[in-house]
Structure 1
Amino acid sequence: MPRNRKSLSRRDFVAGAGKVALGAMVAPGFPTVVSRHVLGGPGFQAPSDTLNVAIVGAGGMGMSNAEQLVSQNIAAVCDVDFGYVERSLAGRGKDNTGQPRPNGLKLQEQFGKATRYADFREMLDKEKGVEGVVIATPDHNHAVIAKAAMEAGKHVYVQKPLTYSVHEARVLRETARRTGRVTQMGNQGHSTDDARLVNEWIQAGVIGPVREVYVWTNRPIWPQGISRPVRPPATPAAPNWGTGGVRDIQGTAMWGDYPIPAGLNWQLYLGPVAEEIAFHPIYHPFNWRGWLDFGVGALGDMGAHLIDHPYWALSLTQPTSIEATSTPFGTVAIDPPPATGPRRRPVSYPLAMTAHYEFPARGTRPPVKLSWFDGGLMPPRPEVLPDSVTLNREGGVIFLGSKGILMHETYGAKPTIFPDALMQEARAVPKTMARITTSHEMNWAEACKGKGQASSPFDYAAPLTETMLLGIVALRAGQGRKILYDADTMTITNAADANQYLTREYRGGWAI
Structure 2
Amino acid sequence: MSDNTLSRRSFLSKTAAAGAAAFTAPLVVPRHVLGGPDHQAPSDTLNIAGIGVGGVGESNIDNVAETENIVAFADADHGYASEVFDKYPDAATYYDYRRMFDEMGNEIDGVIIATPDHTHAKITADAMKRGLHVYTQKPLTWSVGEARYLRQLAQETDVVTQMGNQGHSSDDARLINEYVRSGAIGEVEKVHVWTNRPIWPQGIEMPEEVQRVPDQLNWDLFLGPAHEEPYHEDFHPFSWRGWVDWGTGALGDMGAHLVDHPFWALELGAPTSVQTRSTAFNGESWPQSTMTHYNFPARGDNPPVKMIWYDGGLMPERPDVIPEDVSLNPAGGALLVGSEGYLMHETYGSNPQIFPEEKAEELDTPPQMFDRIQGENHELNWARAIKGQEEATSHFEYATQLTETMLLGVVSLRADNKKIQWDGDAGRVTNDEAANQYLARQNPREPWAIPEVQNAVGATAQQ
TM-score range, shorter chain: 0.7 to 0.9
What are the equivalent positions in structure 2 for 1:305-316 lying under 5 Å apart?
305-316=257-268
Decide which of 113, 120, 123 is 2:97's aligned counterpart: 120
User: Is 1:201–1:426's contact at 8 Å kept on the other side of the alignment?
Assistant: no
Work out the CA distance in 1 between the residues paired with 2:51 and 2:307.
34
State yes or no: 1:497 paired with 2:434: yes
Normalised by the size of structure 2, how large is the TM-score? Answer: 0.88
2:81 alignment partner in structure 1: 85
1:467 alignment partner in structure 2: 405
Work out the CA distance in 2 between the residues paired with 1:137 and 1:223.
19
Shift in CA distance, 308/262, structure 1 to aligned 2, threshold 3 Å: same
1:452 alignment partner in structure 2: 390
State yes or no: 1:67 paired with 2:62: yes
SS of the residue corresponding to residue 295 of structure 2 reads strand
* C-alpha deviation, 1:153, in angstroms: 1.0
What are the equivalent positions in structure 2 for 1:393-472 lying under 5 Å apart?
393-438=330-375, 439-472=377-410
* C-alpha deviation, 1:316, in angstroms: 0.5
Structure 1: runs of 5+ lacking an equivalent:
18-32, 34-45, 90-106, 231-254, 332-345
User: Is 1:373–1:379's contact at 8 Å kept on the other side of the alignment?
Assistant: yes
1:509 alignment partner in structure 2: 447
Counterpart of 1:59, as a letter, is G
1:58 alignment partner in structure 2: 53
User: Is 2:30–2:109's contact at 8 Å kept on the other side of the alignment?
Assistant: no
* C-alpha deviation, 1:385, in angstroms: 1.3
User: Is 1:399–1:407's contact at 8 Å kept on the other side of the alignment?
Assistant: yes
Work out the CA distance in 1 between the residues paired with 2:328 and 2:129.
45
What are the equivalent positions in structure 2 for 1:36-185 lying under 5 Å apart?
48-70=43-65, 71-86=67-82, 88-89=83-84, 108-109=86-87, 111-127=88-104, 128-185=106-163
SS of the residue corresponding to residue 322 of structure 1 reads strand
1:269 alignment partner in structure 2: 222
Work out the CA distance in 2 between the residues paired with 1:501 and 1:360.
23
Work out the CA distance in 1 between the residues paired with 2:321 and 2:419.
30
Work out the CA distance in 1 between the residues paired with 2:193 and 2:293.
10
State yes or no: 1:207 paired with 2:159: no
1:369 alignment partner in structure 2: 306
* C-alpha deviation, 1:47, in angstroms: 7.3
* C-alpha deviation, 1:11, in angstroms: 5.7
Work out the CA distance in 1 between the residues paired with 2:131 and 2:86.
27
2:4 alignment partner in structure 1: none
Decide which of 300, 315, 320 is 1:378's aligned counterpart: 315
RMSD: 1.8
Counterpart of 2:81, as a letter, is V
User: Is 2:117–2:247's contact at 8 Å kept on the other side of the alignment?
Assistant: yes
Identical counterparts, % of pairs: 53
Work out the CA distance in 1 between the residues paired with 2:363 and 2:192.
21
1:190 alignment partner in structure 2: 168
* C-alpha deviation, 1:5, in angstroms: 6.4
SS of the residue corresponding to residue 111 of structure 2 reads strand
Structure 2: runs of 5+ lacking an equivalent:
1-23, 451-463
What are the equivalent positions in structure 2 for 1:254-403 lying under 5 Å apart?
255=209, 258-273=211-226, 275-329=227-281, 331=282, 346-403=283-340
* C-alpha deviation, 1:351, in angstroms: 0.3
Larger radius of gyration: 1
User: Is 1:407–1:416's contact at 8 Å kept on the other side of the alignment?
Assistant: yes
User: Is 2:293–2:309's contact at 8 Å kept on the other side of the alignment?
Assistant: yes
Shift in CA distance, 4/310, structure 1 to aligned 2, threshold 3 Å: farther
Work out the CA distance in 1 between the residues paired with 2:363 and 2:79.
50
Moved over 3 A (4+): 2-8, 10-14
Deviations 1:129-184 (A, max 9, x none): 10100000000000000000000110000000000000000111111111110000
User: Is 1:139–1:296's contact at 8 Å kept on the other side of the alignment?
Assistant: yes
Counterpart of 1:365, as a letter, is N
SS of the residue corresponding to residue 181 of structure 1 reads coil
More off after superposition, 194-203 vs 120-129: 120-129
Normalised by the size of structure 1, how large is the TM-score? Answer: 0.80
Work out the CA distance in 1 between the residues paired with 2:409 and 2:58.
29
Shift in CA distance, 495/134, structure 1 to aligned 2, threshold 3 Å: same
Shift in CA distance, 409/129, structure 1 to aligned 2, threshold 3 Å: same
Deviations 1:247-272 (A, max 9, x none): xxxxxxxx3x5200011000011011
User: Is 1:11–1:47's contact at 8 Å kept on the other side of the alignment?
Assistant: no
Shift in CA distance, 474/426, structure 1 to aligned 2, threshold 3 Å: farther
More off after superposition, 499-508 vs 360-369: 499-508
SS of the residue corresponding to residue 83 of structure 1 reads coil
Shift in CA distance, 80/6, structure 1 to aligned 2, threshold 3 Å: closer
State yes or no: 1:486 paired with 2:423: yes
* C-alpha deviation, 1:48, in angstroms: 3.8
Work out the CA distance in 1 between the residues paired with 2:114 and 2:408.
22
* C-alpha deviation, 1:10, in angstroms: 3.2
Work out the CA distance in 1 between the residues paired with 2:123 and 2:237.
19
Deviations 1:182-221 (A, max 9, x none): 0000000000000000000000101000000000000000
* C-alpha deviation, 1:421, in angstroms: 2.8
Work out the CA distance in 2 between the residues paired with 1:3 and 1:268.
17
Work out the CA distance in 1 between the residues paired with 2:28 and 2:203.
47
Work out the CA distance in 2 between the residues paired with 1:324 and 1:191.
29
SS of the residue corresponding to residue 202 of structure 1 reads helix
State yes or no: 1:10 paired with 2:24: no
Counterpart of 1:123, as a letter, is M
User: Is 1:4–1:151's contact at 8 Å kept on the other side of the alignment?
Assistant: no
Shift in CA distance, 120/8, structure 1 to aligned 2, threshold 3 Å: closer
Work out the CA distance in 2 between the residues paired with 1:384 and 1:63.
42
SS of the residue corresponding to residue 184 of structure 2 reads coil
User: Is 1:3–1:152's contact at 8 Å kept on the other side of the alignment?
Assistant: no
